[in-house]
A and B are shown apart, each in its own frame.
Chain A
Amino acid sequence: MKTHGIIPDEWIVSYASGALSEAHALVVATHCHFHPDLQQKLIDAENIGAMLMESRPLAKVSSHMFDDIISKIDDLPNKAMQPSNDNGLPFPLADYLNHKSLDQLNWRMMGPGLSQVRLWTGPNDERLWLLKAKGGAKIPPHDHRGIELTLVLQGSYHVGNDQYGPGLLEIADDETKNHTPLIDPGEDCICLVVTEAPIKIHSFLGRLAQPFIGL
């Protein structure tokens, strides 16, 4: 069963098992921050992982491991203070951004009403970025290669009849053709996005600009 804007369970299992990339894990963890029922599912999935770990045949650990640990903990410095989460963002993202606020990031203009911050590039050109679009802006029609996850942090947008607001997540893939998100009028829409490969923009001008805007 597909629920609008909520990540399907197989992603929760993959997150819990450690099978996601850094970018996908950040989007899933941040998405879960908005939804207590997803947090409960995640705990259930991690409980399953823990029980599977506990049920493994025991490995032999070296006879000196415990003494090695004791000598290491005797030398440990005092713990550093944890930075507080005071930038108003969901914890996983705030932590990922080293507790900087969105305004302190290096936003790059991509076109009229659109700017982005590149956060991470992984193997096979997987990219994690923040996208900021002015209210009323239209993202150029495009197709996808691989999966695109878009998590709304602020503002909202429409794709056809589906609306995506804060905490909701859209999954687009190879089969999502002519994807044309329309930003709702009003406040800026800020999203956390992962793409697995550059998107295919339809218009000639869009394609010309693509290498410079980095989509």
Chain B
Amino acid sequence: MDEPSVFSDYSHEQLVILVARNKDRNAFHQLFDYFAPRIKSYLLNFNISDQGAEDLTQDVMITLWQKADKFDPEKAKISTWLFRVARNKYIDKVRQQKYPEVNADDHIASMIAPEKTDQTIKEQQDRGRIEMAMAVLNDEQRKVIELSFFKELSHSQIAEATNLPLGTVKSRIRMAFQALREELGDYR
């Protein structure tokens, strides 16, 4: 599986469409090369073994292969779709709970369609934007966002971990979210 990449100027969303329509394995390989190390890295934040993270990453990529035709690039980014699948698989397999979803098909239709040109350049810019947006937060706000997303801690668990009153934790998450939404306003 060492073919040179034939789709280097394709966006991730365009690659998913090739997987959905043609079951294109080269396009799938390219998505794998980009996302598998990132999904595994995200999963390793939680208390699971390297093998556990490896198995879940495999499951996520197989789900992408199976459900690529359900993905609508006008409604979501593929990274967000994969994040959701990875989060839910971890909760299902490790915490053994379901994580009910707002049906992706019901997500509002007015989502902005991805731009058709300069897609890969835009993706590279997007990836740098979260660091810039996180840099706007103060240390306390950054901490509660990281404990939420990287440790899946609830408000009361964050309060316990940081020795802060519950109300303070909630207001910090609210403020941080508001600041991030403002910073990333046109990222949709």
Contact = CB atoms under 8 A, between A and B. Distances in A.
Question: Do A and B truly interact?
Answer: yes
Contact of B37 (A32, A39, A60): A60
B108 to A, nearest CB: 5
A147 to B, nearest CB: 9
Interface string B165-181: 00001110110111011
Interface residues of B, number: 73
Interface in B1-48: 1, 25, 29, 32, 36-42, 44-45
A67 B36 CA distance: 13
A170 interface: no
Given A48-B130, A53-B79, A92 B100 contact: yes
Contacts, number: 192
Contacts of B130: 48, 51-52, 54-55
Contacts of B127: 51, 54-55
A9 interface: yes
Question: What does DSSP make chain A's interface, helix, strand, loop or mixed?
Answer: helix
A33 B131 contact: no
Interface of A: 8-10, 12-14, 16-22, 25-26, 29-30, 32-33, 36, 39-62, 65-70, 72-73, 76, 79, 85, 91-93, 95-96, 122
Interface of B: 1, 25, 29, 32, 36-42, 44-45, 53-54, 57-58, 61-62, 65-66, 76-77, 79-80, 82-84, 86-88, 90-91, 97-103, 105-108, 111, 126-127, 129-131, 145-146, 148-150, 152-155, 157, 169-171, 173-174, 176-178, 180-181, 184, 187-188
